[in-house]
Amino acid sequence: MADMTQQLQEQVLQARTNGQKLNIVGGGTKSFMGRSADSEAGTLSLAEHTGIVEYHPVELVLTVRAGTPIRDIEAALAEEGQCLHFEPPRFGDASTIGGTLACNLSGPARPWSGSVRDQVLGIRLLNGKGEHMRFGGQVMKNVAGYDVSRLQAGAMGTLGAITEISMKVMPKPAATATLVEEMALEDVIDYMNRRAGEPKPITGACWVDGKVYLHLSGARSAVEATAEKWSGDVMEGGDDFWQQVRDMQHEFFAGNEAPLWRFSVDSTAPNPKVEGNWFIDWAGSQRWFRGEATLGDLEPLARTAGGQVSLFRGGDRSGEVMHSQPEALKAIQRRVKNSFDPDGIFNPGRLYSWL
Amino acid sequence: MNTKPKASKAQLAEQFRSFIDPEYVITDDETLKPYECDGLAMYREMPMLVVLPETVEQVQRVMRICHENDVPVVARGAGTGLCAGAMPHKEGVVLSLAKFNRIIKIDPLGRTARLQPGVRNLAISEEAAQYGLYYGPDPSSQIACTIGGNVAENSGGVHCLKYGLTVHNILSVEMVTAEGDLITIGSDGLDSCGMDLLALITGSEGLLGVVTEVKVKLLPKPEVAQVIMAGFDSVEKGGDAVGGIISHGIIPGGLEMMDSHAIVAADDFAQAGYPRDAKALLLCEVDGTEEEVHEHIAEAEEVFRKLGATSIRTSQSEEERALLWKGRKSAFPAVGRISPDYYCMDGTIPRRHLARVLLEMDKMSDEYGLRVANVFHAGDGNLHPLILFDANVPGEFETTEAFGSKILELCVEVGGCITGEHGVGVEKIRQMAVQFNDEELQQFHDVKAAFDPTGILNPGKGVPTLKFCQEYRSIEHKQHKHEQTDAAHG
């Protein structure tokens, strides 16, 4: 529970003076993501920069240091009957909230509860000049200045070190239920989208191994009535299943042999015809694929499906792992990076080889 | 931007007329006049000229010409904004997107809509209604304001707490850059690789690009909605009741509060049957499935009763629900009836400081000799104090502005911000110096330069120059909030 701001700031200033690069590390549970870290660079560790700065359950607002483990945050929220309803994946006990935002990671409830960036209200950020700045705030609505806070989602630390996050939290649902039934991949995209279009308390829709799973959460009466009305069997231990999906502990994700690809696409797009194993989540918006392929092979398929593809885990991490960008967007992102980190200190090449 | 335009009005008009219908390249004062201000009519400036392109390609050409000639460009939707964000630049071009008013496609299965930027906010929900869908954000100006403007301001509305702001409800934008390039930010998926430029663009007040297409998410229309009206004999109790509902685990679709001045004015106007002797009135709307609404309404009534409500009324029909909302929705024109003019503020505060802020506002009201009525998006802490004044009394608008400025500074002091949903524009550019320090403001300028290296997009809005801020802070003897915090830590 320490405020390490001063040490972190000094380390950045020193790195700048010495022309050194820095890899930003929290709990170290997401080191498999992005391109390989620069082995020459030093480490800027946020692991000790932990603790809840402010928590007002009545405001539904939490302010926390970026190195705080998700586990600790969820324990504090649970005491007040609240939760992180975007269901952040926990790749280990050490997974931190800062890393979750930097990698833009959200769980199965994302299409309904919003993503991690959707909950963010404000941040403090250490930029490449060693300036410790505050953006956004602790209130739900704040349109003063550019939204630098949410810009960090997915930037993988290339714009600076997030040191503090204020975010929206929500009440825990009073009741949950899971419905499961067998369904072919050809039918499930349409089915999940139709269910998502009904005004019912749905917070999860995924498909794996020939079965579709729907998660219901909300007021008890609403969950019970919907479970009664919709097809499928009520699954025993349904919440455990969703925890496994959320933390990528489901057996689909096990092992490191086959690379894991992530498609973020139009929820209604027909599934790409590629040989391999598929896991459909987010009612069709997020599709996991396991198989040997190249980014160049998969990008046209993702584009046809209205979205993008990335190499989430495994495979060759020395080349590009994120969907390629058009030149005009590359130029803008390079200039944005330069505006935060003119000497290119933070996480060099982690997101793209050219950033 | 400090550079003088390299082309004259006549030269620009000639160039534009070579590819835009000459009728829509406006140069005469009489036709330019309606463009001199947006919804905040106290701030006015005549533009050099106005263009109304009809194709994206034309927008690109306008931008290229303006970029080459260092001509400022102010993009404009319906002009309903409340911060003078669309006020023209006197040496610049107003780029009206009014002709881009087509709903390109609604996908009922995927629950999305592709829109040109000039589509009106309400028109989206009207068109989507046939599929049982609607668009979430519903700013008060939704009958007129456009989706392009909503993206520029990150507009909210009364349903933000549960359904989010514009940034939470869009998937992608197509945008013309300052240099005239056409780029797509976001995708048909829920996220894209890399830094979240879509969030950065949303709420950027036309300073980073010109949006030419927007893809939004649509939501299934809730089965049922019911509203509870609860009166309280003090503002504190009203504020506690808001907290009480949320602590209970209920997230209302809408949660609005009015103070006694607003209650009386709104009830006179709408005859909604509001408790006229109440010091605070809450409107709490619960929506969802039939079962859920039934369950939550009963619980919410109980919470209000326990927390000292002096009156409770729950809508039993759609007509009654509409009537109860009518007062709140007409609060601004209602206040307009009891005063020649009013000035609407937009600060946001942590709700726990509500009573303190309202009390201090009352004191200021006495000091400045101006009445103030309060309507409040209580669920998300967004205050809309309406300062009542008479523009015909010399000096009264200046006093009103000074009063408004104090209110915004108070919002920052209690941990809030200077604008919740109306934007900074020209109006609140001074108060930016209260909410942000020089390093932060410089970072904003650097971000702007990454998109618009020569600074032609909406110059003079949104982010103040550092020199201006230093002067403002020294006049006001302000110590920056962050410096105070840091000093306390140090």
For the CA atoms of chain B, what is the radius of gyration? 23
Asked whether residue B170 falls in the same domain as residue B289, the answer is no
Same domain, A124 and A63: yes
- Nearest chain B Cα to A326, which residue? B183
Q: How many contacts, defined by CB atoms under 8 Å, are there between A and B? A: 283
Q: Which pLDDT score, from 0 to 100, does residue B474 have?
A: 75
Residues A110, A189, single domain; the answer is no
> pLDDT at residue B485 above 80?
no
Question: What pLDDT is stored for residue B476 in this prediction?
Answer: 58
Co-location of A149 and A217 in the same domain: no
Question: Could you give the residue ranges of the DSSP H alpha helices within B414-457?
Answer: 432-435, 438-451
Over the stretch B122-174, which tens digit does the pLDDT of each residue have?
999 999 999 999 999 999 889 999 999 999 999 998 888 899 999 999 999 99
pLDDT tops 90 at residue B379: no
Q: Specify the pairing of strand B93-96 against strand B103-107.
A: unpaired
Report yes or no: B428 at the A interface, CB cutoff 8 Å. yes
Calculate ∠ Cα B389-B393-B397, nearest 5°.
Answer: 50
CB contact under 8 A, A222 and B348: no
> Maximum distance among all alpha carbons in chain B?
71
CA distance B31 to chain A (A): 32
pLDDT at B483 over 80: no
Arithmetic mean of pLDDT, B355-370: 93
Same domain for A209 and A141: no
B413-431: average pLDDT: 95
Chosen from A9, A141, A287 to mutate, greatest number of chain B CBs within 10 A: A141
* B271 located within any domain: yes
- A101 and A138, same structural domain? yes
User: Would you tell me how many other CB atoms lie within 10 Å of the CB of residue A17?
Assistant: 10
Beta carbons within 8 Å of B471's beta carbon, 6+ residues apart:
none
Nearest CA among A312, A308, A317 for reference residue A35: A317
pLDDT for B1 = 57
Q: Rounded distance, CA B294 to CA B461, Å?
A: 47
Mean pLDDT over the full length of chain B: 93
* Final residue belonging to a domain, choices B194, B220, B246: B220
**Which residue stretches of B282-330 are H helix?**
290-306, 318-329
- Residues B350 and B472 placed together within one structural domain of the fold: yes
pLDDT of residue B284: 97
The pLDDT of residue B322 is above 90: yes
B58 pLDDT higher than 80: yes
Q: How far apart are CA B9 and CA A93, in angstroms?
A: 64
CB proximity list for A255: less than 8 A, separation 6 or greater: none
Q: What is the pLDDT of residue B484?
A: 41
Which of A146, A223, A262, A263 should one mutate to test binding to chain B, selecting the residue with the greatest count of B CBs within 10 A?
Answer: A146
**Which residues of B fall within a CB distance of 8 Å from A199?**
132, 220-223, 288-289
Smallest CA–CA separation between B379 and chain A, in Å?
Answer: 9
Tokens of A127: 């930029």
Alpha carbons within 13 angstroms on the beta-carbon side of residue B2 total 1
Residue B384 in any domain: the answer is yes
Give the max Cα distance, chain A.
65
Q: Are residues A227 and A156 in the same domain?
A: no
Q: Do residues B138 and B73 share a domain?
A: no
User: Cβ separation of A141 and B160 shorter than 8 Å?
Assistant: yes
Q: How many domains does chain B have?
A: 4
Question: Which three-class secondary structure string do you get for B154-217?
Answer: CCCCCCHHHHCCHHHCEEEEEEECCCCCEEEEECCCCCCCCCCHHHHHCCCCCCCCEEEEEEEE
Same domain, A119 and A233: no
Q: Does B48 map to a domain?
A: yes
Backbone torsions φ then ψ of A86, nearest 5 degrees:
-85, 0
Position B488 scores a pLDDT of 35
List the single residue in A81, A151, A218 with the smallest CB-CB distance to B200.
A151
DSSP structure class, residue B89: P
Average pLDDT over residues B320-341: 90
**What distance in Å separates the CA atoms of residue A216 and residue A179, rounded to the nearest whole number?**
8
Are B108 and A197 in contact by the 8 Å Cβ rule? The answer is yes
- C-alpha separations of A55 from A46, A62, A67, A168, B262 in Å: 20, 4, 16, 10, 32
Helix, strand, coil share (%) of chain B residues, nearest 5: 40, 20, 40
pLDDT of residue B330: 86
Distance of CA B205 to CAs A21, A227, B86, Å?
A: 35, 45, 9
Strands B133-134 and B112-115 turn out to be unpaired
B153 and B237 co-located in one domain: no
Task: Look at residues B218, B202, B188 and name the one whose alpha carbon lies nearest to residue B126.
Answer: B218
**B476 touching A, CB under 8 A?**
no
Partnered with residue B459 across adjacent β-strands are none
A317 within domain boundaries: no
Q: The tokens of A59 are what? A: 């405001």
A163 and A198 housed in the same domain: no
Same domain, A161 and A217: no
Average pLDDT estimate for B359-378: 93
Q: Using the beta-carbon criterion (under 8 Å), do A190 and B223 form an inter-chain contact?
A: no
Nearest beta carbon to residue A351 from set B192, B194, B291: B194
| Helix, strand, coil % over all residues of chain A, rounded to 5 | 30, 25, 45
Q: Are residues B329 and B206 in the same domain?
A: no
- Mark yes or no for CB contact B195/A145 under 8 Å: no
Q: Same domain for B77 and B114?
A: no
10-residue stretch averages of pLDDT, chain A, 355 residues long: 94 97 98 96 98 96 98 98 98 98 98 98 98 95 96 98 98 97 97 98 98 97 97 97 98 94 98 93 98 96 98 96 96 98 98 97
Model-level pTM? 0.96
pLDDT tens-digit readout, B288-308: 999 999 999 999 999 999 999
Residues B253 and B323 grouped into a single domain: yes
- Residue A175 near chain B (CB below 8 Å): no
Here the CATH number for the domain that contains residue A162 is 3.30.465.10
For B73-108, write each residue's pLDDT tens digit: 999 999 999 999 999 999 999 999 999 999 999 999
**Does residue B375 sit in the same domain as residue B300?**
no
- Angstrom CA distances, A87 to A53, A84, A203, A299, stand at 21, 6, 10, 28
Question: Has residue B101 been placed in a domain?
Answer: no
Over residues B216-231, the pLDDT tens digits come to: 999 999 999 999 999 9
Rounded to the nearest angstrom, the gap between the alpha carbon of residue B99 and the centroid of all alpha carbons in its chain is 23
Domain of B26: which CATH number? 3.30.43.10
Distance, in Å, from the CA atom of B261 to the CA atom of A86, rounded to the nearest integer, reads 40
Q: How far is CA B388 from CA B374, B421, B425, B431, in A?
A: 11, 21, 22, 21
Task: Determine whether the interchain pair B196/A154 forms a contact, defined as Cβ–Cβ distance below 8 Å.
Answer: yes
Q: Which domain holds residue B134?
A: 106-220
Which of B220, B221, B420 has the CB atom closest to A143's CB atom? B420
Residue A114 lies in a domain: yes
Give residue B45's identity as a one-letter amino acid code.
E
Cβ neighbours, 10 Å, residue B408? 24
Question: Within this chain, do residues B83 and B195 fall inside the same structural domain, yes or no?
Answer: no
Chain B residues within an 8 Å CB radius of A222: 288-289, 291-292, 295
* CATH code for the domain of B426: 3.30.70.2740
Mutation to test the A interface, candidates B190, B376, B430, B489, most A Cβ within 10 Å: B190
How near does any CA of chain A get to the CA of B219, in Å?
7
Give CA–CA dist A104/B193, Å, rounded.
9
Q: Report the phi/psi class of residue B46: left, alpha or beta, with left for phi > 0 and alpha for psi in -120 to 50.
A: beta
Looking at the fold, whether A9 and A150 belong to one and the same domain comes out as yes
Q: CB of B221 within 8 Å of any CB in chain A?
A: yes
Residues spanned by the domain of A98: 5-171
C-beta separation of A40 from A50 below 8 A = no
Asked whether residue A64 falls in the same domain as residue A161, the answer is yes
Window from A319-333, B50-64, B323-337 with minimum mean pLDDT: B323-337
The CATH number assigned to the domain holding A183 equals 3.30.70
Question: How is residue A170 written in tokens?
Answer: 């929500």
A148–B200 CB contact, under 8 Å: yes
- CB within 8 Å of B244: residues ≥ 6 apart: B303, B304, B306, B307
CA nearest neighbour of B87 among B486, B392, B461:
B461
| A310 contacts on B by Cβ (under 8 Å) | 193
Q: Would residue A293 count as lying in a domain?
A: no
Q: What is the CATH number of the domain that holds B183?
A: 3.30.465.10
Task: Specify whether A14 is located in the same domain as A37.
Answer: yes
Q: Quick check: ipTM above 0.95?
A: yes
Q: A146 — contact with chain B (CB < 8 Å)? A: yes
B453 pLDDT higher than 70: yes
Beta-strand pair B210-217/B170-176: antiparallel
Q: Give the span between the Cα atoms of A101 and B164, in whole angstroms.
A: 18
